[in-house]
Amino acid sequence: MSVVENGAAVSPGSWRPLRLATLVGLRWLAIAGQTIGVLFVQFGLGFPLPLAECLGLVALSVLLNLWLVFRFGAGYRPSAMVATAQLGLDLCLLSGLLALTGGLENPFSLLLLAPVSVSATTLPQRSTLILAGLAVVSASVLAVFHLELPWRPDDRIVFDRVYVIGIWVSLICGVTFIAAYTNRVAHEGRQLADALGATELALSRHEQLSALDGLAAAAAHELGTPLSTIALAAREMRDEAPPGPMRDDIELIMSQAARCREILGKLRSLRETPGDPFAAVPVSALLAEVINPLGGMGKTITIRTDPMAGPEPVVKRNAGLLYGLGNLIENAAQFAMTSVEIDTSWDKAALTVTITDDGPGFPPELATRLGEPYLTTRARAPGSPEPGGLGLGIFIAKTLLERTGARLRFENEGLEGHARVRIIWPRQAIEVA
């Protein structure tokens, strides 16, 4: 698994999800609870227990906390393995305290699940497996080797062995559940959050490019007037200047002014549809704008509309819509053999855009998961040397288009493949009134 941090992939080994202050705070809470519990049993209930040994183990936790805070500071973020080592030490100290106070017969043996829970919700899977294995070993040892449960001096409590085995089994089941189910749920939640972060980053970049595009066109327009004035004044000076070095300098000024006009002309042409990037355009014009940058991919991309469907819908043009459609069409062009067909149809209720390519189609084993983050089918591209990737393209496109009110359906046209993506909008959600 990897996460996205500042736009780059971060490996689990360098991932630092927890602040030291969080681990230290949890440990202070455990220290307070253990101290109160030990003192209450000894002096409140009058049950004898190895008080010095118990308080000695608690003191080790105190010393560990103080050393960590003074050595690294509360804002420090330990690596995943260092955090795992701290939680493992907490688990060992807790096991030692339980061994002195009844082992699994102690009702607080349930706290063996706490370090595993913290790891399952925040740390990589390997860390959770390490702590889960340590918890299982600790529970197994405590089931056999432990001092008697503190009880009244004149009475002795005896638990049936079957009951102790039942507690051991319940702890093993709890550890297994947390390590498997909870870690999986937290992992998927982190993946979704990371993928949404990548989506926001992609959309932000697209909006910045769109804004830069408009800024370039505006700058070209504003600079046109003073440049024309400079060229006119230079022409008049040239007509009045006698042949010589001054006339040559004026000719140079005029040539550079002409070059500036050419550059400004290129800046104006950066935007084929000048004006507000959120302007309203017919759906066919929007699709034509999206496919224009894909002309160099060597694939034929055709837009087809239904001439009998009535007036063409005019849609709200925005960065999310452009990026989402562009991502899906570019993906189809990458996997297509020769051509991509884009069909648009509409009625009074809905607008539908269908993107179909003549490539191998979506893999059947991934058909039900398309649109999930970190899922890739790139290895199936004909002749593609790429082994795969993060697979965020379809997820980003799906997320951005769903924000505009669309519903997406991924399918194959037939048994021979030919991937098809059907995008359906309610007209009131996307059409300009």
Residue-wise pLDDT for 50-103, tens only, equals 999 999 999 999 999 999 999 888 778 888 888 999 999 999 999 999 999 999
Instruction: Return contacts of 29-34, CB within 8 angstroms, 24+ apart.
Output: 30/61, 30/90, 30/94, 30/111, 30/114, 31/58, 31/61, 31/62, 31/65, 34/58, 34/61, 34/97
Q: Same domain, yes or no, for 45 and 121?
A: yes
Q: Are 49 and 170 in a shared domain?
A: yes
Residues of the chain under the 70 pLDDT cut = 1-17, 187, 189-222, 265-278, 367, 371-392, 433
Q: Hey, what are 198's tokens?
A: 């990548």
User: Is residue 209 located within the same domain as residue 150?
Assistant: no
Is 77 part of any domain? yes
pLDDT for position 239: 80
Alpha-carbon distance 299 to 332, whole Å?
Answer: 10
Show the domain range for 219: 205-268
- CA–CA dist 314, 194 (Å, integer): 34
Which of 241, 268, 295 is where one domain is finished?
A: 268
Instruction: Say yes or no: 212 and 190 in one domain.
Output: no
Return the closest-CA partner of residue 266 out of 318, 313, 213, 303.
213
> 26: exposed, middle or buried (C-beta count within 10 Å: 0-12, 13-18, 19+)?
middle
Indicate the angle between helix axes 20-39 and 51-72, nearest 10 degrees.
Answer: 160
**Distance from C-alpha of 148 to C-alpha of 120, rounded to nearest angstrom:** 32
- pLDDT computed for residue 214 by the predictor: 55
Looking at the domain assignment, is residue 273 inside a domain? no
**At which of 247, 268, 289 does a domain end?**
268
Residues 136 and 232 both lie in one domain:
no
The residue out of 152, 174, 202 marking a domain boundary is 202
Tokens of 254: 């005029």
Q: Label residue 349 exposed, middle or buried (CB < 10 Å: 0-12, 13-18, 19+).
A: exposed
Please report the pLDDT score of residue 13 as a whole number. Answer: 43
**d(C-alpha 308, C-alpha 203), whole Å:** 35
Residue 20 lies in a domain: yes
CATH of residue 357's domain is 3.30.565.10
| 282-327 per-position pLDDT tens digit | 888 889 888 888 877 788 999 998 877 788 888 887 777 888 898 8
329 within some domain: yes
**393/317 same-domain check:** yes
Same domain, 299 and 405: yes
Phi, psi of 47 (to 5 degrees): -90, 125
Contact in structure between 313 and 431 (CB atoms under 8 Å) = yes
Taking a C-beta distance cutoff of 8 angstroms, is the pair 280, 257 a contact?
no
For the chain, the domain total comes to 3
Same domain (yes/no): 27, 79:
yes
HSE-CB for 401 with a 13 A CA cutoff = 27
Nearest residue to 292 (alpha-carbon basis) of 307, 303, 281: 303
Residue 168 confidence (pLDDT): 93
Q: Are residues 153 and 253 in the same domain?
A: no
Q: Which amino acid is at 228?
A: S
131 located within any domain: yes
- Are 179 and 139 contained in the same domain? yes
| Predicted local distance difference test score (pLDDT) of residue 416 | 80
Question: At residue 431, what is the residue type?
Answer: E
pLDDT computed for residue 379 by the predictor: 46
Task: Identify which of 343, 363, 307 has the alpha carbon closest to the alpha carbon of residue 424.
Answer: 343
Residue 274 lies in a domain: no
Where residue 73 falls (left for φ over 0; alpha for ψ -120 to 50; beta otherwise) is: left
CB 200 within 8 A of CB 263: no
